[in-house]
Each structure stands twice: as structure tokens, then as C-alpha cells.
Amino acid sequence: MIQTLPIRNYLQHLGVERVIIGGVTCQWWPPPEFDPEPQAPFPLAASVWGPCYYALEEVVHGRWVGSQALQVDGSARVGKRIPAEAQMAELFGVEAVLLSLQGGGQGFLTGLEAVIQSFSVDLVVGVDIGSDSIYSHTDEVRQPRTPLADFISLSGLYRCSVPSVYGLSGYGCDEELALEDLERNVGRVMRAGGFLGAYGLTQEDVADMGRACSAMPDPVEKWPMEAAKGNLGLHRMRLGEPWGSLLRITPLQAMILFFDPKILVSAVNRIAAQVGETGSLAEAEATLAQAGILPESYLQRYIQFLRPELYGSES
């Protein structure tokens, strides 16, 4: 969600009159029992084991846009939690929408088309951070860690009824694909004619992203901003593991690369096309699992043995 800010600024500087930001019903919230302070800074959130995939029906203070999307403002809540889209609306005074993932690829496309029609959208720009959407499922040395939400989103982006663009921000900074694999796959998209250009973060973008990162701390989202501030070189990034992983930040992370999503899917990520045919979140999960790809929504189930109530507390 934070990566939408530079694109919003860019479009506004190009003269686009109305920019609506959007996100999906997936957020990396810690389980409530480990999160007594919903807005606690990141060190507490370092123990998040998997994302929360919630339903639009759980959101209060939203306006329905069709059956698979909601318009939200700063008052929107999921229980006691604030969706990132609501926080962005509050912080920057933008119009924001939430698209459901519960209907799989088909449901997401339905929600996206409802937003397109309701707001008279002429262009859809999707943005992902890092690398996981540029996955071919052929010869990568490791799998992406968070493919499910991204593949569903990409499946709608390449099939929607208006022109669309896919943006890759923070090149490789999520540490999901090895850089060798990411570069090979990006090369495949480029050779197929799918590279559309690039945008470099400005100081306005850095300031806006700094405000958003302060309100919504995240281990990955900050790196494009840090690259644009000149904080290059080796850094430690904490994801799920307590020790952190080694990350090299270069000036490239301060750029957003733009691709044609149709060519991206046809040349590299054909799994996204399969996910696009699914009619529920469970079916999308199963599509990835059957391909040997772990959906991030399974993570909580795989590590339930870590929960203290299963083996008792220490005396």
C-alpha cells in the first residue's frame, strides 16, 4: 500500500485529475493475543507468522462498491484494527478502496471492474514491492514467500477492461526470489517487449513514504525510501526469523519499473493465469499448493505447534 504513494504523486504531476488508491483484504496483523497494542512498532510485529485474510463483511464504516469492493475512509475498522487503506485515506486525504480476495481470481476481477465502472477509471496501475510477482515456477532456486495475494491481484490486472500497468518497486528488496532468478525473469519480460519504462522516487515521495512508514511500520516497505535517501549497502532485515536476513540496497531500489501485465503473465508468471480462474480463496490456495507453491495463508496452520497452549506454559 505504501508503494502507491510515489505512483499517486507521479500521476498527479502528469495532470491526472483523480487518483484512487486501492488494496486487498490481506494484512500482516499479529494474532490478537500477541498484539495488545494494535499500532505497536515493528519489533513486536516481528513475530507475525502469516497474513490475515479477512472478508469485506468484517469491515465497518465502508461503502459497498458492487459485491467485492468497499470504499473506505479513516473510520473503517476490522475489529479494533485499522486497514492500511483506511490509514492512507486518513493520512493523505485520498479516496481508497478495498478489494476482496475471498472470491479468488474471479471475485477479485469482479471487484476491480466494479471500481472501474463506479469511479470511471481510465487506467489501473498495480504495484508490488520486491520480486515475488516475477516468478516463473520453472527454474528458480527458491519460491516466493507471499505469492497468493500478489498472484490474485496480477490475475485481475492483466484481464481488466481498461489499460493497465504493473509496477515493481524496491527491486528484489523483499528477499523472496534470488537476484539471479529475478534478473533472468525480468529479462524474459523485456525481451518479449513488456518493459514500459521507469520512475525514480523524488524527495516528495520520500517524505510521504516516511509518514506512511511511521504510521504503518513494515520490514520491507521502507527500503525504496531508504535507497532514495542514500542509505545504500548492507542492511539486516527482520522478517519472520528473529536473526534477520542480509539485504543489499543499491540505487535500483529507489526506482519503480513498469511492465505490461499481459506480457508479464504470458512470458513469466503463467501461474497467475491459473489463479485467475479460481472462484474462491480456498480454490486459489489449492491451485498454488497443487503446483508445489506454499500459499502464505497456510503459514499459520503449519506452525500451530509453536502456540504455547499446545504444550503448556513454563513453570
Assessment of whether the complete model's pTM goes beyond 0.85: yes
**Residue 42, pLDDT score:** 42
**Residue 304, pLDDT score:** 54
**Residue 29, pLDDT score:** 78
**Residue 43, pLDDT score:** 44
**Residue 38, pLDDT score:** 47
The C-alpha cell that represents 78 in the structure block:
476490522
**Residue 302, pLDDT score:** 63
**Residue 51, pLDDT score:** 86
Per-block mean pLDDT, blocks of 10 residues, the chain (315 long): 96 96 89 50 50 94 97 96 96 97 98 98 96 92 92 97 98 94 97 98 98 92 97 87 81 98 97 97 96 87 53 44
